């Protein structure tokens, strides 16, 4: 596992991958690697102009690759449902569903179109609904995997069930950490449900460590007229010592998605100091993220507020 690299990805010929937020950073590197390995790749993201550019770039690096773009705004449940419906109508099944898109550390509290706190809505609830809408196509694949990108920030996260949308006491990192803990809990609960029902579905998680992407600037600059935030300036100072490239940061995701040795119900991350950088290995999951009752409670709450449901009954 510790030496896993792009060259170790098994052939993905005949497989269909859907990746959110793949127009830059970790998602882009993941899409490029999977297309290079022969997968049909569908990039679901907000920016259509950037999407067209990325599709052209990947086709240029992997001639003959099958790459396409679908517009998706994870901060809108209507957009989520529309995008999922279009994808479902265009494919016989989905072998890889990779929940990658995210926004980090927004200075002020914003709400999505549906009234959710923006980081929880875009990072977690949008993906929750998207995945459940697509689950029939995922379960139609012979050996599907759902990979959810979490973060080291899950370690400081708490699910605030009494104020899930953080209408009181919002801080950028409190919201981000909650959203990334939520994505991890979703991954673990989906794996539990798959095993309970006997589905041939693997659900696992990955985190990129500290990888240099647009994540460090996009969220922190919201509402700042594109001026660099303190977080962004601090991150720039640390990059030479503690970070790795987006391509390296994509390796845990790619391992989780493609390796014959990958397992469900775990998270993969870099093997270096504090899991900041390095090659893929099993990542640490904090003990409070391992409570099955919390997984189930978050899932049930998420169903209620998104009105998204699994297509089949699931054992408790």
Q: How far apart are CA 234 and CA 256, in angstroms?
A: 30
Strand, helix or coil for residue 251? helix
Return the higher-pLDDT residue of 237 and 307: 307
**215-260 pLDDT per residue, tens:** 534 544 455 455 555 554 444 444 444 569 999 999 999 999 999 9
3-state secondary structure of 189: helix
Summarised one tens digit per residue, pLDDT across range 45-64 is 999 999 999 999 999 999 99
The fold for domain 6-306 equals Rossmann fold (3.40.50)
Give the integer Cα–Cα distance in Å for 235 and 238: 5
Residue 17: strand pairing partners: 41, 96
Q: Which two tokens stand for residue 92?
A: 């016989």
Residue 176 among the catalytic residues: yes
Residue pointed to by tokens 């016989």? 92
Q: Specify the pairing of strand 67-71 against strand 40-45.
A: parallel
For range 197-214, the mean pLDDT:
90
Q: pLDDT value at position 226?
A: 57
pLDDT at residue 219 in the model: 40
Whether this model's pTM surpasses 0.85: yes
3-class DSSP state of 68: strand
**Residues 146-197: tens digit of each pLDDT:** 999 999 999 999 999 999 999 999 999 999 999 999 999 999 999 999 999 9
Strand ranges of the sheet holding 267-270, from the earlier edge strand across to the other edge: 67-71, 40-45, 16-20, 96-99, 145-149, 202-206, 267-270, 280-282
Residue with tokens 């790749």: 41
Among candidate residues 176, 210, 255, 268, the one labeled active-site is 176
Q: Which two tokens stand for residue 106?
A: 């927004």
Provide DSSP, 141-178.
Answer: SSS-EEEEE--GGGGG----GGGTT--SS--HHHHHHH
Could you state, in order of their start, the residue ranges of all structural domains in the chain?
6-306
State the Cα–Cα distance between residues 232 and 228, nearest whole angstrom. Answer: 6
Structure tokens at 44: 């679901």
């Amino acid at each position: 596992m510790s030496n896993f690299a792009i060259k170790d990805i098994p052939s993905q010929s005949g497989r269909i991958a859907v990746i959110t937020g793949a127009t830059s950073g970790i998602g882009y590197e993941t899409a490029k690697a999977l297309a290079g390995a022969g997968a049909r790749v569908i990039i679901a993201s907000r920016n259509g102009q950037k999407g067209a550019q990325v599709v052209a770039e990947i086709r240029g690096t992997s001639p003959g690759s099958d790459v396409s773009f679908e517009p998706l705004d994870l901060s809108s449940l209507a957009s989520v449902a529309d995008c999922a419906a279009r994808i479902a109508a265009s494919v016989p099944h989905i072998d890889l569903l990779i929940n990658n898109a995210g926004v980090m550390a927004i200075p002020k509290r914003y709400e999505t179109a549906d009234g959710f706190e923006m980081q929880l809505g875009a990072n977690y609830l949008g993906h929750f609904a998207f995945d459940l809408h697509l689950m029939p196509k995922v379960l139609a694949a012979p050996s599907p995997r759902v990979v959810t990108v979490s973060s080291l920030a899950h370690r400081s996260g708490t699910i605030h069930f009494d104020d899930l949308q953080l209408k009181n006491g919002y801080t950028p990192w409190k919201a981000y950490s909650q959203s990334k803990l939520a994505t991890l809990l979703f991954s673990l609960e989906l794996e539990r449900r798959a095993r309970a029902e006997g589905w041939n579905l693997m659900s696992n998680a990955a985190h990129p460590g500290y990888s240099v992407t647009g994540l460090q600037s996009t969220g922190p600059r919201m509402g700042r007229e594109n001026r660099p935030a303190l977080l962004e300036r601090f991150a720039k100072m640390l990059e030479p010592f503690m970070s790795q490239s987006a391509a390296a940061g994509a390796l845990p995701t790619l391992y989780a998605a493609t390796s014959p040795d990958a397992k469900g119900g775990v998270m993969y991350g870099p093997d270096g100091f504090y899991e900041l950088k390095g090659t893929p290995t099993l990542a640490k999951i904090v003990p409070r993220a391992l409570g099955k009752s919390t997984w189930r409670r978050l899932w049930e709450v998420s169903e209620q507020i998104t009105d998204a449901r699994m297509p089949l009954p699931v054992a408790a």
